[in-house]
């Protein structure tokens, strides 16, 4: 598999790393850790050929930069598993409008597994394309941040960007 890889300086987060096949984005990493990101890619796709930025990563970078500047949610093609609990959770999270949040429990109910709120949290933690699937919009039922696959400070900053006021 050939993967386009890009590191992009962005407001709020400092940098993001993006990986894409010719069909769409396969991974987004929040933070400035390109070498670690590349090792993770090679672990996930042994034998993959990593290349510099290409048309898909450039389009994703433009969409992410526009979003972080207050523009619309980034809409770019992604290549993700289409089956299983996590994919159902990710689709549901993708429906959360900008500036709104949902609890882990509410997402669990929406995917018809009302007792699986912890599994929703695990699916959020496994989200391979944060920002493109806005897992930062999923919070604890008590209105607090809950967890995040990256730095919790990033989650708070992203929610603030969208105008969400958090407790504590």
> Hey, is 129 helix, strand or coil?
coil
Cα–Cα distance for residue pair 129/122, rounded to 1 Å: 14
Q: Is 17 labeled as catalytic in the residue annotation?
A: no
Query: Long-range contacts: 29-36, Cβ < 8 Å, 24+?
Result: 29/150, 30/130, 30/131, 30/150, 30/151, 30/154, 31/150, 31/151, 31/154, 32/7, 34/5, 34/7
CA distances from 16 to 10, 53, 65, 76, 144 (A): 7, 13, 10, 15, 25
Of 20, 63, 135, 145, catalytic: 135
- Which pair of tokens denotes residue 96? 């959360």
Residues annotated as catalytic (active site), given as ranges: 135
């Amino acid at each position: 598999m050939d993967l386009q890889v890009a590191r992009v300086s962005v407001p709020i987060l400092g940098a993001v790393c993006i990986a894409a096949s010719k069909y769409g984005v396969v991974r987004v990493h929040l933070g400035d850790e390109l070498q670690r990101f590349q090792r993770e890619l090679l672990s996930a796709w042994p034998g993959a050929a990593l290349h510099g930025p290409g048309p898909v990563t450039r389009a994703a970078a433009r969409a992410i930069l526009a979003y972080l500047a207050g523009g619309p949610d980034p809409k770019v093609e992604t290549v993700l598993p289409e089956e299983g609990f996590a994919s159902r959770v990710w689709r549901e999270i993708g429906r959360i409008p900008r500036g709104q949040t949902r609890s882990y429990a509410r997402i669990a109910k929406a995917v018809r597994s009302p007792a699986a709120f912890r599994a929703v949290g695990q699916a959020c933690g496994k989200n391979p394309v944060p920002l493109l699937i806005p897992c930062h919009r999923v919070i604890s039922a008590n209105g607090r941040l809950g967890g995040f696959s990256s730095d919790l400070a990033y989650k708070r900053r992203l929610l603030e960007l969208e105008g969400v006021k958090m407790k504590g």
